[in-house]
Amino acid sequence: MEKRSSRLHNSIINIGTTGIVYVFTMAMAMLVRSFLNRVLGQTYVGLNGVLTSVITSFSIADLGVDSVFVFLMYKPLAQRDSQEITNLMALFKRVYVIIGTIFLTVGIVAIPFLEYLIGKQAMGIPHIRLIYFLFLLNTGLSYFFAAFRIILNADQKFYVIARITFLVTMAINVLQIIFLLILKSFIMYALLLVISTVLINVIVGIVANQRYRLSERRLNRRAGKVKLNFKNKDTFGILIRNTIGGLSNKLGGIVVYGSDNILLANFETLKVVGMYSNYILITQGISSLLSKVISSITASVGNLGAEDDKERNYSVYIKLTFIINLLTFLVLVPLLICFSVFIKLWVGKQNVLPTLPVILISINCILQLIRFPALTFIDAFGLQWKQKWKSVVEALVNIVVSLFLLWFFKLGLVGVLLGTLCSNLLVVNWYEPYVVLKEVGQKRYKEYISQVTPFILLFIIGILFSNYILESGWLGFSVIKTVFLVIVVEVIQLLLVVILFRKNSSMVYLIRVLQTYLNKKRSN
């Protein structure tokens, strides 16, 4: 009982801190994007999106090993085995140095082919190769410090990283705005990104060294040529198998979400990429917030897995699925209705996309959000190897459909979005839950389907309702009408949830947890 209480306590701290920090960080990022748009124009906003996608594509070098490393660290931390922790940290550091070197090498080798990656229009921007190199350096340097994040994540101390990231990012964002206004320089904007990355990682490294009494000299010596002996003889086997699975998963994610801007840069203009990037910044903000919140409890799920209680594993998975679906449902209609109004207020009416792309962007965001319960269990239970072919198929479906619609039907942005939609529906959103249920959920497929079907119907109703409102033109760009409609819709949605799920065990559990936490806060 004490373990479960501690696990819940750590999860709540991680969720609360991560959520609050990310909301403020996201708001500041949008403010910086607004200044970037107003000072340098939509072309540079598009360039920012394209370069981010290109660099993300190169980051396949990390092979998805971060979740594998966190998985390997659970048991030594639970047993407080300092020797094994030191050996694992040395291994992580050794691997990440190799990864960082490969990443930077691949990125530099790609410079002569930059035109084919970012499009001819982007190549006309002054100092484009220097800007590209700064973006490359921003991601590449983070690998050389990544090992210290692993131990904090595995020990359910994600909130430590969140706080450090928040403070440094806020300071750097203010400097970016100042330099944009004074110098009007995108190079300085990119250079400050590099400085931010270095500062965050150095501070995280110092905190991790102090908290876990890690000797930097000892780690460096062990990360060199010293042979590492692990108590778990299958450590390298787990690392290799799950790294291959992680590579597959990483490849699929890169092709599906990283290729959109690259395809648009070659088939459309940087202005279209910039307009699309504004919408994606919002959906990625929502997705990343939920991802960071869920990541902060992954260690708790991994700790749960060590108990080898399959009935409890299934119960937790169902509860987590219910909570994520509930949050997604409450976000869906407000997201669709508010999108265009918010874009107009934020970066101007000229950056508002038509209704169909907005609907498709929102649907893809929703499909990404409801994946998180399965992804959490896949990471926490080390199931990457079990789904090694899934992302290869996902990537192929996405790229083939997108190119077909772009090349033959000239659908532009709509074609790219339909490619992502097809890969999600046909491959991802059914297969990941299948893997989890098969491996740790007692293969209770019918029961799981009965749990999620009501939410699928609610999602469809929400999308159809939102499409009707948007197509009717009743809202226009009126803030008052939008706010009024969102409030009414949220009240109706909450009533629907209460009526439909009042006897659902997951709803009862959620209410009980919230009541317990609030009672503890009052007593303190």
Question: Model confidence over 422-465: pLDDT tens digits?
Answer: 999 999 899 999 999 988 877 889 889 998 999 999 999 999 99
Say how far apart CA 397 and CA 33 lie, in whole Å: 32
Residue 440 near residue 310, CB atoms below 8 Å: yes
CB atoms within 10 A of CB 177: 18
Say how far apart CA 304 and CA 270 lie, in whole Å: 47
- The predicted pLDDT at position 173 comes to 92
Higher pLDDT, 286 or 426: 426
pLDDT beyond 50 at 4: no
DSSP 385: G
What are the extents of the domains in the chain? 1-262
Q: Tell me the percentage of the chain whose pLDDT exceeds 90.
A: 22
Q: Which of 189-198, 280-289, 334-343, 437-446 has the lowest mean pLDDT?
A: 280-289
Q: Which of 87-101, 190-204, 298-312, 507-521 has the lowest mean pLDDT?
A: 298-312
In SS3 terms, 48-67 reads as HHHHHHHHHHHHHHHCCHHH
Higher pLDDT, 326 or 512: 326
DSSP strands (E only) in 40-92? none
Question: Model confidence over 116-127: pLDDT tens digits?
Answer: 878 788 888 889
The mean predicted confidence, pLDDT, of the chain is: 81
Q: Tell me the percentage of the chain whose pLDDT exceeds 70.
A: 81
pTM score, whole prediction: 0.72
pLDDT beyond 80 at 38: yes
- The predicted pLDDT at position 459 comes to 94
In SS3 terms, 107-130 reads as HHHCHHHHHHHHCHHHHCCCCHHH
- The predicted pLDDT at position 74 comes to 73
Residue 68 near residue 382, CB atoms below 8 Å: yes
- The predicted pLDDT at position 176 comes to 92
pLDDT beyond 50 at 523: yes
pLDDT beyond 60 at 329: yes
Say how far apart CA 195 and CA 199 lie, in whole Å: 6
pLDDT beyond 50 at 414: yes
The contacts of residue 523 (CB under 8 Å, 6+ apart) are none
Q: Which of 148-157, 394-403, 407-416 has the lowest mean pLDDT?
A: 148-157
Say how far apart CA 57 and CA 329 lie, in whole Å: 31
**What CA–CA distances, in Å, run from 231 to 91, 218, 234, 304, 487?**
14, 19, 9, 21, 57
pLDDT category at 5 given cuts 50, 70, 90 is very low
